[in-house]
Amino acid sequence: MPELADRKKCTGCTACQSVCSSDCIEMKADSHGFTFPVINRNKCIECRKCEKACPVLNLEGVPDQNTIAFAAYSLNRELREKSSSGGIWGELAKEILDRHGHVYGAAYDRDYSVKHICVTNVSDLHKLQGAKYSQSELAGIFKEIKVKLEMGILILFSGTPCQTAGLKMYLNKEYDHLICVDFVCHGVPSPMAWKQYVLYRAREDNHGELPLSVNMRSKETGWSRYQYSNVYQYGNNSMYSKKSTEDLFMKLFTADFINRESCAACQFKGYDRVSDITLGDFWGVWDIAPEMDDNEGTSLVLIHSDKGADIFESLSDRIKCRRITLEQASRQNPSLIQSSDSKKERKKVLDEISCGNMKDINRLLDSTDGRLRISMIQRNISACVRRAVHRISHSRNEKR
Ligand SMILES: Cc1cc2nc3c(=O)[nH]c(=O)nc-3n(C[C@H](O)[C@H](O)[C@H](O)COP(=O)(O)OP(=O)(O)OC[C@H]3O[C@@H](n4cnc5c(N)ncnc54)[C@H](O)[C@@H]3O)c2cc1C
């Protein structure tokens, strides 16, 4: 019988399920809402295609791609405002739609679960814009993309680095008309925790009625120096608005209490990636390239391939950009090269949330605050060491 990646490493990317020709793998959610493949042993014909498609079991390391980095933002104010950072993803997506391509990304469903969907029309692009802090569901998406690629349709896929690696492993073939965009990823939060939090907010803010819209990356309080806020808009003109540094869900996310277990040992980080382009928030731009920071959001852009370079070049009259070094790119954004922490209290926190005890979590956070500060200092020190190692190995490669 095939042996898939163990639970600590499995990212839930769906490559194994998508490649299974006897349809015997089901993605099942655990009590924290993270999905894992379950093989129906009675139906399995032991072809082992699932093992071969797993990006975790077949880690090869990405060769040096001469990755280059930019600070960039869109000149379209409206588009940029709806985006998490500088709106470069929105510009790329528009370019693909202009060329009659199809764009895949993560959107909220009616109940605020997060799912990958396909957009073919600019008027629907807003559904994909902005970061959603829950691991997105990919059910059926890889197969759908393959069918379209075989028909010759231009595709832009965007997702987490592990989802992108999963898609590439499943396809097992290079397509000139597939552009993959991943992002600098801190980790993916539990879908269960996210849903519980939306329900909790609805109870606290609006007698249990779900919000009409949620924006986890509102720039109404600014963007620079992590000033963005979370805004939940309700039907009766009421709203909840909090700086992300003060919002309970964002505190749990950034302090690594609710991420998928595999995020603590992420294998898909680094300057070189399987994607064509990597996007991120250019945290630290205010120190590194202050002329690129107007408090409206600046993207970090890493270009890994000729395809990525070509499409980024085609945006040149719609964006402002400046070349930076890789060291500048990661200086204040450790998530580019470093996994999130593995928190001892993670299971306890998630178990409490799954019982609906959102209020008790506040107390737990307070009691771990001291330890949290220490672990953040440790994290920053180890990020400095890693960056130094990366710098040395890159400068050696450049000299060769
Ligand atoms: C869970 C998560 C963690 C992140 N962590 C960091 C970080 O530590 N450091 C950093 O610099 N940047 C991080 N980012 C990326 C950053 O917030 C922006 O998404 C990125 O800078 C692109 O911004 P943009 O303005 O160009 O476009 P945006 O309009 O903000 O980007 C939208 C794109 O993001 C995709 N997306 C949104 N939510 C999800 C999701 N849950 N799963 C898969 N794809 C999704 C959409 O499909 C769409 O393609 C994270 C994003 C997410 C979703």
pLDDT tens by residue, 260-282: 999 999 999 999 999 999 999 99
CA-only gyration radius of the chain, Å:
21
Q: What is the mean pLDDT of residues 291-297?
A: 97
Q: What is the CA(390)–ligand 1 centre distance, in A? A: 24
In the prediction, which pLDDT does 342 show? 85
| Choice from 81, 82, 84 to test ligand 1 binding pocket (greatest atom count within 8 A of CB) | 84
Of the listed ranges 15-29, 175-189, 286-300, 335-349, the least confidently predicted one is 335-349
Residue-wise pLDDT tens digits, 83-108: 999 999 999 999 999 999 999 999 99
What is the reported pLDDT for 367? 67
Which pLDDT tens digit goes with each residue over 60-81?
Answer: 878 888 999 999 999 999 999 9
pLDDT for 65 equals 83
Report H helices in 274-325: 285-288, 306-313
Task: Say which residues have a Cβ less than 8 Å from residue 47's Cβ, sequence separation at least 6.
Answer: 21, 22
Among the residue ranges 286-290, 321-325, 344-348, the one predicted with the least confidence is 344-348
* Span from the CA of 71 to the centroid of ligand 1 (angstroms): 16
To 10 degrees, what angle do helices 191-206 and 346-354 make?
50
What is the reported pLDDT for 374?
Answer: 43
Task: Give the pLDDT band of residue 379 (cuts 50, 70, 90).
Answer: low
| SS3 label, residue 5 | coil
Find the 130 Cα to ligand 1 centroid distance in Å.
7
Residue reference for tokens 């020190």: 381
3-state helix, strand, coil in the chain (%, to 5): 40, 20, 40
Owner of token pair 């991420």: 259
Segment 128-186, tens digit of pLDDT: 999 999 999 999 999 999 999 999 999 999 999 999 999 999 999 999 999 999 999 99
DSSP alpha helix (H) spans, the chain: 15-19, 49-53, 77-82, 88-98, 141-150, 161-171, 191-206, 248-254, 285-288, 306-313, 326-331, 346-354, 358-399
Residue nearest to atom 37 of ligand 1 (CA): 131
Over the chain, what is the mean pLDDT? Answer: 92
C-alpha span between 231 and 253 (Å, rounded): 17
Phi, psi of 85 (to 5 degrees): -115, -110
